Structures are given as structure tokens and as C-alpha cells.
Amino acid sequence: MHPILDRRASRWLAIVSLSAACARGGGGVAREPFGTTHRGEAVSVYTLKNAHGIELRVLDYGGIILSLQVPDRSGRLDDVVLGFDSLGDYERGSPYFGALIGRYGNRIARGRFTLDGRTYTLATNNGPNHLHGGVRGFDKVVWTAAPFERGDSVGLVLNYTSPDGEEGYPGTLRATVTYTLTNANQLIFDYHATTDRATPVNLTQHSYFNLAGDGKGDILGHVVTLNADRFTPVDSTLIPTGEIRSVAGTPFDFRTPTAIGARIDRDDEQLRYGRGYDHNFVLNKGATGNEPTLAARVYEPTSGRVMEVATTEPGLQFYSGNFLDGTLQGKRGVVYRHRYGFAMETQHFPDSPNKPAFPSTILRPGEEYRSRTIYRFGVQP
Ligand code: GLA
């Protein structure tokens, strides 16, 4: 049986199909129903496996990464991302666990920007500001999903057309995001978009990781290296001030491997504003053209798991899960306490539509938005 099932396939068939793929010892893709949104849309979960047993489960709702099983240094698989068991939990109030973010990752000050002489007003959903695309961003819509299998990878192509005026943004935006899981243990995100009117675009992926395993405690012992000499300091509402500041001599210097928890509680204005790390790092870029360059490396000492992040984007939002406070109950009944997960969101800088000195996020008709991010998983002794 072909392991990719059509939309009418039953749950039973999907499970048989996945088993067949596993029995071959290679990768595979299978689809199962995952419930219905409060609007009545059917949601599916796609299970993708590579040849080394890495298993990725993705919803067509929000492109959400539900789980990601990755081996530790002894080969033991654990789920390394935070999430929920049910669609209802995602709909009721997820802090963007695993989701695709659009049209604009991170904040736009006061939900306003001026483009080509016209001022646009966006939905405000984070104090005075617009965050992660607004009230109903790309994380809360159902994408069209098409799975694929190639010789050395499996994947999912996700499509969403955002109508003109959605959340206040100008133009119809056609977005395609491809998730590829390779036999080299890479998870690749390829973003593509076109528009019929000039609009800001800044797409990202908001998975929260705990490389020791989901729910196994806080992430303060993870050792992080960031390829960034500078970061963009913020005001008390987490909007960049416009300054590009050196990390030298600050708790933001991750140029050599440093535990997340080593300096997170220092008396530092920026750490106070972020309640920890919640900042955009300006990635060091050589003369590499448009190829992804190394942005971050994260090592978890107890499991030995390593995650490397490479991207074509100029920035990386390193978020240390500061808003997790023990009120959310996730997969398998796990309670997400303070800093139980971290995110590495590759992106253009926050509030770029209001910061002419930052790299532009404006996409115009006839242009193509292209961006690539790679998460690579491995182990270290
Ligand atoms: C991003 C933001 C944070 C927070 C999380 C989601 O990382 O910068 O402030 O909103 O998303 O909770």
C-alpha cells in the first residue's frame, strides 16, 4: 500500500500504512484525523518518519509541530517539543506551541505602520502591540497539506492564502511552507510567499524545545551558543528601541557555550524587560550569499542531545519560556512550569515596519519571499 493516504482514508488504514512504512525500515508519512475546529473544519495529523527513527507529527491546523521524537546519546527516543494532546487545548489558548507564525513573527508597535504613505492598523493582541500576526494569525488557521516522500527525505507542503485585510494587513498573501525531514536528521523549513499589494511579511516557526525531553524540568541547564555579536534591546513592552547593541560584557553574550541559567537572573534592565531571554539577536553573516548560516547550537548535557540552527534570516528570537507559569497542562498531563521550554525563532527583526534602519520586511507584487531554516539534531558524548 502506498504510505501516503488520500483525504478519505480511515484512521485504521492510516495506522496500517504507517506500520508498513516502519516495517520497511525506512521513513514514511501517514495521516490520521485530529478533531474538528470550533468553526467545523476537519484537522489532520501527519506522522513523518526518517530512516533513523526520528518521528515528527504535524497538524494542518497552524502547521503545528505536535511532537518530535529524537534519539539521545544511548539511542533512546524522547519527544523534545512542548504541546497539547487535543485540538481544543490548542484553540483555547496556546502560547504558540509548535506553530507557524505569520504574517509577522514577533511584535509591531501599537499595531500600526505606514507603508507607501498610507497608515495601516493591525489587531493588537499583546498589551498595546501586535504579536505573531494578530488575534487569528497563521498559527490558528487550517492549511492545505500535501505530504511527499523522496529518496532521502519525507515532508509536508503547507499552503495558506491570507485574504486582503486579514488582521489589518494589505494584500492577498499566498504562503507556502514546506517541512522536510531528511535522513541526515535535519528538519528543514522552506518559506515562500507572494502578494498582490505591498505588505510586511516575516514568517517563522515557534516550536518550544526541551532537549532532555518534554516535561522533564526547566531548560536552564541547556548550553547555548549563538552566532551573534549584537542584539536589539527592547523597551518594557518588548519593542526594539532601534539600537543595535554589542553583546560584549552583557548576559546576552552567548558567543561561547553558556548555560541558559548561568546569568538569567542577573540584575539587568534587558533581562527584567524580557523576564529572562526574549530578545532578537543580530546574526553574524559572512559573504555567504543566500545560503543558511549557523545561528545557534544547543546542547543538553544529561541526554547528550544537540540541536543546531542554521538560517537565511538576519535575526533569531531566543525566548527562554518566561511566560510559562505552571497554568498550562500539556501532553501526557505534564504541567509546564516556568522556563520548561525555549524557542529559537529565526526571523527578521521585530517592529521592522516602523524601523527604517532594520532590514526591510516589505514584500511587493512581483517579488518572491524566500526563507530557509534548518534544525539539525545529533548527540555529543
Ligand atoms: C515570542 C515573544 C514572547 C512570547 C512568545 C510566546 O517569543 O517574543 O514575548 O510572546 O513568543 O508566548
Tell me the mean pLDDT in the region 189-207.
98
Please check whether residue 37 is in contact with residue 61, taking contact to mean a CB–CB distance below 8 angstroms. Answer: yes
Q: Which position among 166, 300, 313, 345 bears the catalytic label? A: 345
- For the segment 5-16, what is each residue's pLDDT rounded down to a tens digit? 333 333 333 333
Distance (Å) of CA 48 to CA 37, 53, 137, 148, 187: 23, 10, 25, 10, 11
pLDDT band for 24, please (50, 70, 90 cuts): very low
Residue ID of nearest Cα to ligand 1 atom 5: 95
pLDDT of amino acid 213? 98
Residue ID of nearest Cα to ligand 1 atom 7: 319
* Residue 32: active-site member: no
- β-bridge partners, 149: 154
Structural domain harbouring 144? 3-379
Name the pairing type of β-strands 328-329 and 223-226.
unpaired
Quick one: which of 209, 207, 206, 205 has its CA closest to 340? 209
Residue to mutate, 319, 322, 338, ligand 1, most ligand atoms under 8 Å from C-beta:
319
Can the peptide bond before residue 103 be classed as cis, meaning omega within 30 degrees of 0? yes
- Is the pLDDT assigned to residue 20 strictly greater than 50? no
* Residue 206: active-site member: yes
Who wins on pLDDT, 17 or 355? 355
Separation of alpha carbons 55 and 61, rounded Å: 19
Residue to mutate, 101, 126, 236, 278, ligand 1, most ligand atoms under 8 Å from C-beta:
278
Grid coordinates representing 290? 543566500
**Ligand 1 atom at shortest distance from the alpha carbon of 319:** 7
Tell me the mean pLDDT in the region 24-45.
88
**Residue 78: CB partners within 8 Å, gap ≥ 6?**
69, 70, 72, 212, 213, 214, 216, 303
- For the segment 310-343, what is each residue's pLDDT rounded down to a tens digit? 999 999 999 999 999 999 999 999 999 999 999 9
- β-bridge partners, 352: none
CATH number, domain containing residue 244: 2.70.98.10
Grid coordinates representing 340? 520548561
Grid coordinates representing 146? 500535501
pLDDT of amino acid 289? 73
In the chain, pLDDT over 90 holds for what percent of residues? 90
pLDDT of amino acid 288? 66
CB atoms within 10 A of CB 39: 8
Chain mean pLDDT for the chain: 93
Chain-centroid distance of CA 229 in Å reads 23
Tell me the mean pLDDT in the region 151-168.
97
Quick one: which of 181, 189, 252 has its CA closest to 29? 181
- For the segment 230-262, what is each residue's pLDDT rounded down to a tens digit? 999 999 999 999 999 999 999 999 999 999 999
- For the segment 255-299, what is each residue's pLDDT rounded down to a tens digit? 999 999 999 999 999 999 999 999 999 999 977 678 999 999 999
Q: Which position among 206, 222, 279, 348 bears the catalytic label? A: 206
Number of structural domains, the chain?
A: 1
Please check whether residue 350 is in contact with residue 287, taking contact to mean a CB–CB distance below 8 angstroms. Answer: no
